[in-house]
Amino acid sequence: MNSRVSYELVETVGVITIDNPPVNALSQAVRAGILDAIRASRADDSKAVLICCAGRTFSAGADISEFGKPPQEPFLPDLLNEIEASDKLVVAALHGTALGGGFETALACHYRIALDSASIGLPEVKLGLFPGAGGTQRIPRLAGVAAAVDLMASGKPITAARAAELGLVDKVVSGELREAALAYTNELLAAGAPVRRVSELDVDPVDSSLFDELRTTLARRARGQIAPLKMLESVQAALTLPFAEGLAQERELFLELMRGSQSNALRHVFFAERTAAKIRGLPRETPRREIKQVGIIGGGTMGGGIAMTFANADFPVVMLEINDAALARGLSIVDRNYDGSVKRGKLSASQATACRELISGTTDYAALAQCDLVIEAVFEDPKLKQDIFARLDKCCKDGAILATNTSYQDVDEIAAATDRPEDVIGLHFFSPAHIMKLLEVVRGEKTADDVLATCMALGKKIRKIPVMSGVCYGFIGNRMLQPYFREGQLCLIEGSTPERVDAAMQEWGMAMGPISVGDLAGLDVGYKAREALAIDERGDPKSFRVSDALVEMGRLGQKSGAGFYTYDAETRVKSSDPVVLEVIVQAAKALDVERREIDADEIVDRLIYSLVNEGLRVVEEGIAQRPSDIDVVYVYGYGFPAWRGGPMHYADAVGLDKVLARVTEFRDRFGAANWTPAPLLQKLAAEGSTIEAWAAAAANG
């Protein structure tokens, strides 16, 4: 048919083979080739048609290179209707992953056979969409409303066996798929199996209250996102409208989402994540160092989580602590975390045991001598970190990568404690390290290219999303977090409450409010960091007076059972504490702050625009390679809602002129010390440009 799709007659079966590596995406050429093959099958001697894919997978869906471009014929819904309308049996043979439009293509076939290792899924919700080529109409007809909604709302793949249980796959086989699929097709022909069009099936009736329940569940689970609710509306059409009318409504709702801001933001994050892995000026052929064994210094919550991260990716790990008692505490943290992973169903008991066996403990630096990578994960004391790296310099083998997990400190100063600064890099994990996806890879002034290339590739191996940062206090994420937290604390002392600040940000879409985040991280972390700074380097006292007062009362956050909130010892459920409001009011009096009512809009704008303003400085200084890297950091590391695209994308969506106007208003109201507009914000707003356009121009030279 064309270079991407072939058609051949195997006895009485016309075999359509899609060969569009790496994932057999449904590009325009593939769609056109399938259509030509289906039409050719009508006129030849075939009695049935088999659709299969070459390579490691069935089609994984849409061609992402076509995203954002005008659609080209044949459109996928039209193609699938033509496949389904065939008067000859059409069978789909699934292997690897059949995702999105790829699985919708299989649903348009009359029968489906799958390898037992195959999985199917509909991940469109992750891009702010839902299946738009008949999926919302066909799946309920096969699997029922509840199962269809769950499959499409979660976006998670299911096994071939589970798909067969739901009626989405007709036969599951092992071994060589093409031969099994040809045999199955011939069996259907011999049995006189009918042409079975899913569109002609009825949806099993459900109680009308089910949709109300599903709507409530989806609204809670996908807080702020509209795609799951639009999907539910389209599924309801499958129950109430004829198939053709349901398809038309599905298409209308799909295109509405495609044109909307949420899908635009989620598609931005999708591409930004992939772009972040690319280091400008670093050749693709840069060699990688071999990492076989990993050492972790520090057995606290962070060190234990990092150890689990590597063990879960099948790396042997040696954890070092200062003495036997500290080591025992550290390993017990690991044990509890693995127990939790089993209870939550993240790992089986046997998997957890196998991973745990990869982690050993020591109190002797000599045990790190054969490690290929050593990560320091002790608390934020720059002198302690330098002492540790001086010891590592002496005990680690040549070529070992020496990494610091510091959240704030100068990686170059830490590297200077060694005679091999080229081997030193920052690997900033986020807590809990075995769960959080983000990894900031901090490139020091003297970090060797092969060390950087190794760590970026290693980030993917341990199932993290690596983003490169330059060296500055706090790197990308925590540097920007400082003004964000500052404004949260200022809103508190100026008249709000912890509950109102957190509620405003969560209702806007943040995973947690900033006050709760502070309690989770530990209020003493910031307290100790400020202690290491000169008085004039600590910033506005109003921005930390309340937090410091709580620390001095012994209220460190969740770990001490009380911070801005109090926490149940067993469940960690938080509750308000009137004592905290008293502390806030007293701090305001001491600093001569007149408290006032602060509405949610002001809270949100102060916190989010402080992120945007600082983010633009981070980009302009070259700490972040590109604005979209900042968006990846905040979506995957700080709970920024992906459906808003990250701080930089959100600023473009609002309009930089509007952002500048609000920042300027805050400068006039609260002073230039905290609210001087970033030069890049002023420049782009004056030009009527966008951050995205500026980044594109910078990338092109």
> Mind listing the pLDDT tens digit for each residue in 291-334?
999 999 999 989 999 999 999 999 999 999 999 999 999 999 99
Query: Is the pLDDT assigned to residue 572 strictly greater than 90?
Result: no
Q: How many CB atoms lie within 10 A of CB 347?
A: 18
User: What's the whole-number mean pLDDT along residues 673-682?
Assistant: 97
pLDDT-based confidence at residue 528 (cuts at 50, 70, 90): confident
- What percent of the chain has a predicted confidence (pLDDT) above 90? 92
pLDDT at 525: 81
User: What's the whole-number mean pLDDT along residues 586-614?
Assistant: 97
- The verdict on whether 687 is a catalytic residue reads no
Query: Is the pLDDT assigned to residue 697 strictly greater than 90?
Result: yes
- Contact present, 263 and 129 (Cβ < 8 Å): yes
User: What would the pLDDT profile of 345-366 be if each residue is shown by its tens digit?
Assistant: 999 999 999 999 999 999 999 9
Catalytic member of 84, 104, 494, 614: 104
pLDDT-based confidence at residue 396 (cuts at 50, 70, 90): very high
- Contact present, 13 and 48 (Cβ < 8 Å): yes
- Contact present, 233 and 253 (Cβ < 8 Å): yes
pLDDT at 246: 97
pLDDT at 90: 98
Catalytic member of 124, 250, 376, 494: 124
pLDDT at 531: 82
User: What would the pLDDT profile of 7-32 be if each residue is shown by its tens digit?
Assistant: 999 999 999 999 999 999 999 999 99
- Contact present, 498 and 315 (Cβ < 8 Å): no
- Contact present, 493 and 587 (Cβ < 8 Å): yes
Query: Is the pLDDT assigned to residue 171 strictly greater than 90?
Result: yes
**Mean pLDDT score across all residues of the chain:** 96
Query: Is the pLDDT assigned to residue 445 strictly greater than 90?
Result: yes
pLDDT-based confidence at residue 521 (cuts at 50, 70, 90): confident
Measure CA of the first residue to CA of the last residue in the chain; give whole Å. Answer: 41
User: What's the whole-number mean pLDDT along residues 119-147?
Assistant: 97
Q: Give the C-alpha separation, 498 to 492, whole Å.
A: 7
Tell me if residue 403 falls in helix, strand or coil. strand
Distance of CA 122 to the CA centre of its chain: 17
- The verdict on whether 104 is a catalytic residue reads yes
**In order of start, what are the domains of the chain with their CATH numbers?**
5-259 (3.90.226.10), 294-473 (3.40.50.720), 478-622+625-699 (1.10.1040.50)
Query: Is the pLDDT assigned to residue 656 strictly greater than 90?
Result: yes
User: What's the whole-number mean pLDDT along residues 252-278?
Assistant: 96
pLDDT at 514: 96
Query: Is the pLDDT assigned to residue 64 strictly greater than 90?
Result: no
The 3-class SS string of 9-31 reads EECCEEEEEECCCCCCCCCHHHH
Spatial strand order in the sheet of 97-99? 97-99, 119-121, 158-159
pLDDT-based confidence at residue 69 (cuts at 50, 70, 90): confident
User: What would the pLDDT profile of 178-191 be if each residue is shown by its tens digit?
Assistant: 999 999 999 999 99
User: What's the whole-number mean pLDDT along residues 207-227?
Assistant: 93
